[in-house]
A and B are shown apart, each in its own frame.
Chain A
Amino acid sequence: MSVITNTPAGPPEGVLGQPAEPRKAAPATGLPATFDDGTEHRHSLGLLTADGTADGITGGATDGTTDGGGAADSPVPALPAGADLRVVPARHPWRWVGTALVTLLVAGIAYSLATNPRWEWGVVAQWFTAQSVVNGLLETLKLTVIAGTLGFVLGFVLALMRLSASPLLVGVAWTFSWIFRSTPLLVQLLLWYNLGYLYEKISLGIPFTDVRFFEASTTTLISQFAAAVLGLSLNQAAYSAEIIRGGILSVDAGQLEAAAALGIPAWRRNTRIVLPQAMRAILPNAFNEIIGLVKGTSVVYVLAYSELFYTVQVIYNRTQQVLPLLLVATLWYVVITSVLSVAQYYIERHYSRGSVRNLPPTPWQRIRANLAPGRRPAHPAAPNPTTASPAAPQAAGQEITRKDLP
């Protein structure tokens, strides 16, 4: 423990042997202290105020509880009075260099796309809105919507089963995901389509008796469309179940407990309390899946189902314009994905209510704010000197609203 001998201010000496700043040896705090090791330390709890005088904390230095920290004595540069200070953002000169390089690269690619005649843009334009292509596009959209909806609804049920307390439900849900995730989608589609080979008739009745409520031949029941929907939906359900389960697990357990303590029924607890909060974790992955599904529907070409990809295949087999027609399909996939990406932004924004204090503006709101006449200055706290009027000092602390400015 330190023994403090309250000797009168001796020759001022800093901890590290530097001469202490004479001004800081001000009477209030300059108490040299002798420690066990016999060396002399100077405690300075002084806080330099803007005008450079030492603002001593009395009492702190005399009770001997302060440590002998060496850094306390390093000279603190005096700050100018606060009113004149201005914040200068960090400069990033290399960003400009990078921007120039990227611009060059993009321009090169665009030039080559525009001028290389082998891209055959005329053929692309000719087929882009052709009736057969549009029909194929509609089939792709139909499959995506149906398989996506069925897949996520079934996936939600499977996720709840996986998380339930019943070992039976957990086992069934786990097995479902196991089977459909471990077999190739292509095989699943072909199996569904060829179910008629394995089982000629599908019937509903009491097993091991002759009682039948319903019976039909498999081939009439499972068309190309039915096989495509079955294959895509069930496969999608297995994946989305895991995504939804992950989202539910990310919600704080206290939320379920609070809902249970309030007597809110289980289904309502899941749909009203847990799922909306899980959505923040689910949505990025879910949109990945949906976008994957848009292009994944092209796999059903093995069933000779005339969706977008199969349609362009049929056309280029006839016309031999392979690359331009693949471009037609690709461009449509880009369009769909772009629309979905915009939708994703707004849906995610919707579900972030309550998790951030205030929602950030959308890109569109930002553009409008920037284009509006008399837009905000970059640093509202520091008024532009050219517009600052003599009355400005009173307004400096207030927020500058758009109408305050010319």
Chain B
Amino acid sequence: MSTLETAPAAAPDTGNAEPGKGTVGRVDIVNAHKSFGHVEVLKGVDLTVRPGEVTVIVGPSGSGKSTLLRTINHLETLNSGYIAIDGEPVGYRLKGNRLLERKEKDILAKRTGIGFVFQNFNLFPHLTVLENVTEAPIVAQGRSREAATAKARELLDRVGLADKAQAYPRQLSGGQQQRVAIARALALEPRLVLFDEPTSALDPELVNEVLDVIRDLARTGTTLIVVTHEMGFARDVADTVVFMDQGRIVESGTPAQLFGNPQQERTRAFLSKVIEPAFNI
């Protein structure tokens, strides 16, 4: 089942250098299966994300796209199959043909190389914006408070929130909170950032300020995987668009291929539902 013909494309980065364009952050998903009870959510997903690319996953709700994203950094475990980042599985250790579950400490260390941005932001409400961003670099990567603070201020400046460092999350708008959450994910200097419907909980007028930040990020060469319903964003930013339905990848391709000339009937049906209302207004 999990025959590993997918060799790592690049030497794994040690993590302390700024990831260069297209060298780290390769993701290989091989025959991923996941069930919740009797419900099979992922029915054998194969996907390769090349380093530095932006992959956008679209599909109807319940298609398994969020679950797939969560299995990549081991927030959910797989029932069978294999996910590797830069050739190394996140939650497991390969021994012979068996995958041994790692100790939690090792999984946590692996995760610091992967940023995750949640639909509901999940900022820590009792910590200031600055503390939200510096917490993980200090305790999970052992950086000094000064270095972490300097880095955090730089990132907050990049997402346009330098003046909000001392505010508490509830004092910010949804769009601002999500930008802080992105800064928090970037503070670990990840080789890969996963976005789980980052704009779904936002008021329509706040969506663009978050998408602009992700657009900027796409230009820096960090590998991004974005689950979203924003088709315009997918068309503009994605290198690859993946369409998922009922736990399987139906088809994938460049935005021009997938939006302009979808090969599968299900893709066409889905796109006709989501694109028409979005572009006809």
Contacts and interface: CB of A to CB of B under 8 A. Distances in A.
Interface of A: 252, 254-255, 257-266, 268, 272-273, 276-277, 351, 353-357
B187 to A, nearest CB: 9
A257 B171 contact: no
B104 interface: yes
Interface in B59-108: 73, 75, 104-105, 108
B168 A263 contact: no
A254 B124 contact: no
A262 B125 contact: no
A257 B127 contact: no
B120 interface: yes
A243 B224 CA distance: 42
Contacts of B188: 262-263
A264 B126 CA distance: 16
Contact of A263 (B111, B123, B169, B170): B111
A354 B127 contact: yes
B17 interface: no
Contact of B140 (A257, A262, A351, A355): A262
A255 B122 CA distance: 6
B108 A263 contact: yes
Given A260-B111, A264-B108, A355-B125, A254 B170 contact: no
B109 interface: yes
Interface string B104-141: 11001111101010101011111100000001100111
A179 B103 CA distance: 33
A258 to B, nearest CB: 4
Given A252-B122, A356-B170, A357-B168, 11 more contacts: A258-B122, A261-B111, A261-B116, A262-B116, A262-B135, A262-B136, A263-B110, A268-B139, A353-B126, A355-B170, A357-B170
B184 interface: yes
Given A254-B120, A265-B105, A260 B75 contact: yes
B189 to A, nearest CB: 12
Contacts of A272: 135, 139
Contacts of B110: 263
Contact of A277 (B75, B126, B141): B126
6 contacts: A254-B118, A259-B124, A262-B135, A351-B126, A354-B168, A355-B125
Given A354-B169, A357-B171, A258 B118 contact: yes
A264 B135 contact: yes
Contacts of A353: 126, 168
Contact of A257 (B108, B122, B139, B184): B122
Nearest to B137: A262
Q: How large is the interface on B (under 10, 10 to 19, 20 to 34, 35 or more residues)?
A: 20 to 34
Point out which of B126, B140, B168 has the most chain A C-beta atoms below 10 A from its C-beta.
B126
B75 A261 contact: yes
B142 to A, nearest CB: 11
A109 to B, nearest CB: 43
A354 to B, nearest CB: 4
A263 B135 contact: no
Nearest to B136: A262
Contact of A354 (B108, B109, B126): B126
Contacts of B120: 254
Nearest to A277: B126
Contacts of B123: 258
A321 to B, nearest CB: 52
Contacts of A255: 122, 124
A264 B140 contact: yes
A273 to B, nearest CB: 6
A353 to B, nearest CB: 6
A3 to B, nearest CB: 28
Contacts of A266: 104
A263 B127 CA distance: 17
B170 A265 contact: no
Interface string B28-44: 00000000000000000
Contact of B125 (A259, A261, A263, A277): A277
Contact of B122 (A254, A351, A355): A254
Contacts of A265: 105, 108, 139-140
A264 B194 CA distance: 17
Nearest to B110: A263
Interface string B251-281: 0000000000000000000000000000000
Point out which of A259, A263, A277 has the most chain B C-beta atoms below 10 A from its C-beta.
A263
A110 to B, nearest CB: 44
B144 to A, nearest CB: 17
A262 B118 contact: no
Listed from nearest, the 3 A-B pairs whose CB atoms lie closest are A258-B122, A262-B136, A263-B140
Nearest to A353: B126
A262 B168 contact: no
A128 B126 CA distance: 44
B136 A257 contact: no
Nearest to B112: A263
A258 B111 contact: no
